[in-house]
Structure 1
Amino acid sequence: MKGSALSYIQLVLIHALSALAIFAVPFLSKIYALSIPVIGFFIVYRTKNKNNEVLFIAAYLVGVEVFLRMTGGNFNNEFVKINVIFFMLFGMIYSNFSKYASIYWVFLLLLIPGILITSTVFNPSIDIKKLLVFNLSGPVCLVISSIYMFKRRILFSDLQNILVAMGLPIVSTTVYLFLFNPSVRDVVTGTQSNFETSGGFGPNQVSTILGLGIFIFFTQLILFSKSKKIMILNGGLLLFITYRGIVTFSRGGVLTAVAMIVCILFLLYSFSNAKGKNKFVFVFILTGFMAAGVWGYSSFQTRGLIEKRYANQDARGRAKDDRLGGREEIMAEEIRNFIDNPILGIGAGMGKEVRKEAFGYEVASHNEITRMLSEHGLFGVFGLLILGITPFVLYINNKQHLYFLSFFVFWLLTINHAAMRIAAPAFIYGLTLLSVQVKIPEKAENSVD
């Protein structure tokens, strides 16, 4: 145990130092990006995916995506999604998949009518291939991840290790943010999302991945801190990541993290005995103190502007007309498209082009639900029902999956404010389908029902 604790500390330190190295020599980010799938391939090939190695590699890729994108390491915007899809398929070669996962093949088939409609569009100014890849890479990543993970047996401790694999590169992301912008007070002048405090990259995506990091290190703190040294480390990382998440001024990721933490605390408290519930009083108090402390420090560093941001006010304290950063107009327009084209929709990816005509400029959707309705019509409705209902059907006989509700909430809230720009919501959705057990019987642990 001592050795593993030391290893965990070393891994955190290595990832902190990697951020420093890439900040000093940006080209290293390209080498880093290329090395992950190459090393991952040889690991899976050597082990034959005996212990679900593809899940750890895919989780690491999900955690590192925003870091690579903000440091110029990504070879293209779909680099991580494509790699996650590849490793999920690679894992299926060795470990097969559940025959009951065919429901997700049905979801994929439901996307075809929208693709066909877009394919018939003749407009030299529109790159149809690029349009389809941009809008469908996320759903395809979700489908392939879901098929691999559908009812796949895994220990709860191994699931936590998957989260740690995802969390380590988020440490790198956070360290890089401090190096990129060490003084928040010097760059915060308003209540809009801030690119300076987000490493020069999209605050929405940065907030999303940092919110995921908040949840990961919160669970590490309350469930897997086996010594005072590890407790201090996890507590420090939690505060560190939470602070940088808040000062992106992008609310979605932070609020999602809060919802995830509420879900896990609720389930843990519900399943605890009387003695365990008494211990949770300490957890609740500790969580409250930490939240108040990091919020107070954030408020001090932003001169009170962060409170105005979350109260939907501008820098002068005046209430803003919209509460979702202009997303209401896009969502309303997508709903109108659905009403006008209820059966087949307007075609996969065509929403951006329709909005260009309606608003006079291009703007991508931030809401995957209204996008599915607008672009896929009734087929999109059926697809969303599959995604929304299937995890709960599995959860009926999967009550040991303590993270189920938190993962589902992450997926649902994230696709409502950040669509599926990054691989995280697709992969995290797949994690809801795992058959999690505290102790798996002696028979093959890497099997599926």
Structure 2
Amino acid sequence: MIKLILQNKLVFILVHLAFGYLGTFSFFPKIFGFGIILIPIYFIFNSKNENEEALLFAAYIVGAEVYIRMTSGFIFYETGKYIVILYLLLGMFVGKFKQIFSVQYVFYLLLLLLGIIFTKVPEGESLRKNILFNLSGPIVLGISAIYCYQRKVSAQRLMDVLYFMLLPLFSMIIYLYFRTPDLSEIVFGGEANFKTSGGFGPNQVATAIGLGMFILTVYILSNKQLTGLIYIAAIFLIYFSYRGLLTFSRGGILTAIISIAFFVVFFLMYKKISFTKFFRYLMLALVFILSIWIYTLDITNGMLNNRYTGKNAIGVQKDITTGRVDILKIQMGNFLENPLGIGVGNGKYERLKKGEAITAASHNEVGRLLEEHGYIGFILLITLITIPLFNFLKGNSYQKAFIIAFYLIWFLTINHSAMRIALPGFVYALSLLNITNIDELENTEDENLMIAENEY
């Protein structure tokens, strides 16, 4: 099945575009949700994870999670995270143990669970849901990191992982198209827009779209066949960028832009591109970005500019972080007052108790770790930040391009969206891979480029 999918990339992209339309019908999401849970389990067991089926299908779930949440395809809200954990555990236990055993991430998981000891929730609140909501994302990171730590994965297989992540994002993009009202009927303001996000959380939608933007850019720069024609991939990238801007959620789009910029720098260093060619690429990218920005700015009656500069609908400057810095200040105060932490998920209840103006759950995983886990959280944070950097330092420019991009996607995402979805934890783990057989991929890229040149 894996081979069939990878040999027919455009066909399966079209299939997933159809899935996006089918998602608008009530009967489809549950069928799709159950299907993508059960079918991969069979293939992982049957193949004994010989070809990294567990990693590929986990990547697919990561890409599909937001789409399935917005269509209510899973019975439980956090199912996507549980399935990623299940697939990777199956991959480790039914297949050969290919990675170096990571004691660091085993301790990370054990120390993470210590925060449960101090957890107390008000009467009427669910302790179980409170813990799972806050720890399921970090646990996805821990299990994914154990699976990926120094695991040898070929450059070609890594591209396949990105393709599997990208497939369900096509479904989400088409679903957004059918679920968004006529843009002329939407009153755009200075806040994230639920109507252009399929009625779902714009933050999560923009984060998923940003991932799609990054993957499409990687395929275009690598001259890898995604649709057979590089121009079609470029059109997809333009549409992803446009839909991302329409959400009016900045974090996911800025994360994509920053990650792409770092990837491009190291990738071009690996390719030994001359300054002239680099300048040409830079100008092309700027034209591309400005064109999409100006077009979307016009459609939103100039409100896009207000949103990205932190102004409201009438142009008055407001807190550009929408309260995130205020919450972070409170979290730092609680961290200093409670060196052992206040307990998992207790942050919003502490803010309620003290009568703070902002009582929402934290969107910043760094602040949450420090506030709720105390000095143990500080140790966990330092561990997470430093380990991928060692992998980065010993890699060549090609490996560095991917490692730094994955690392930035993780770090920037957890600072604006915490770990609400499986994406940041899983992508973090990809920065720990030992990417091999780069020369084989290079030869394939050269062949693809020659084919493309002959066609035109």
Using structure 2 for the length normalisation, give the TM-score: 0.91
Q: 1:9 Cα deviation (Å)?
A: 1.4
- Alignment match, 1:271: 270
- Alignment match, 1:288: 286
Q: 1:413 Cα deviation (Å)?
A: 0.4
Q: 1:125 Cα deviation (Å)?
A: 2.4
Give the match's secondary structure for 1:146: helix
- Alignment match, 1:327: 324
- Alignment match, 2:57: 57
- Alignment match, 2:346: 350
Amino acid at match of 1:170: L
Answering whether residue 333 of structure 2 is matched by residue 336 of structure 1, we say: yes
Q: 1:107 Cα deviation (Å)?
A: 1.0
* Aligned residues of 2:56 and 2:161 also touching (Cα < 8 A): yes
Give the match's secondary structure for 1:185: helix
Give the match's secondary structure for 2:184: coil
Q: 1:235 Cα deviation (Å)?
A: 0.5
- Alignment match, 1:154: 153
Q: Unpaired segments of 5 or more residues in structure 1? A: 442-449
Give the match's secondary structure for 2:229: helix
Give the match's secondary structure for 1:364: coil
Amino acid at match of 1:147: I
The residue correspondences of 1:31-430 to structure 2 (distance < 5 A) are: 31-93=31-93, 94-96=95-97, 98-118=99-119, 121=120, 123-226=122-225, 229-274=228-273, 278-320=276-318, 322-342=319-339, 344-358=340-354, 359=356, 362-399=359-396, 400-401=398-399, 402-430=401-429
Amino acid at match of 2:174: V
Give the number of equivalent residue pairs. 433
Q: 1:123 Cα deviation (Å)?
A: 4.5
Distance 1:440 1:50, change over 3 A: farther
Q: 1:438 Cα deviation (Å)?
A: 3.2
Distance 1:189 1:98, change over 3 A: closer
Segment drifting more, 139-148 vs 430-439: 430-439
Distance 1:4 1:372, change over 3 A: closer
Amino acid at match of 2:409: F
Give the match's secondary structure for 1:201: coil
Give the match's secondary structure for 2:435: strand
Using structure 1 for the length normalisation, give the TM-score: 0.92
- Alignment match, 1:16: 17
* Aligned residues of 1:225 and 1:234 also touching (Cα < 8 A): no
Q: 1:128 Cα deviation (Å)?
A: 1.4
Deviations, residues 124-160 of structure 1 (Å, cap 9, x unaligned): 3232111111111011110000000001111112111
State how far apart, in whole Å, the 1-side matches of 2:206 and 2:273 are: 37
State how far apart, in whole Å, the 2-side matches of 1:31 and 1:4 are: 20
Amino acid at match of 2:209: L
State how far apart, in whole Å, the 2-side matches of 1:233 and 1:397 are: 36
State how far apart, in whole Å, the 2-side matches of 1:285 and 1:376 are: 46
Distance 1:228 1:194, change over 3 A: closer
Q: Please, what is the CA RMSD of the aligned residues?
A: 2.0
State how far apart, in whole Å, the 2-side matches of 1:297 and 1:108 are: 46
* Aligned residues of 2:10 and 2:226 also touching (Cα < 8 A): no
Q: 1:16 Cα deviation (Å)?
A: 0.7
Deviations, residues 350-405 of structure 1 (Å, cap 9, x unaligned): 11211222337851110000000000000000000110001111223333423110
Deviations, residues 206-227 of structure 1 (Å, cap 9, x unaligned): 0100011110111112213459
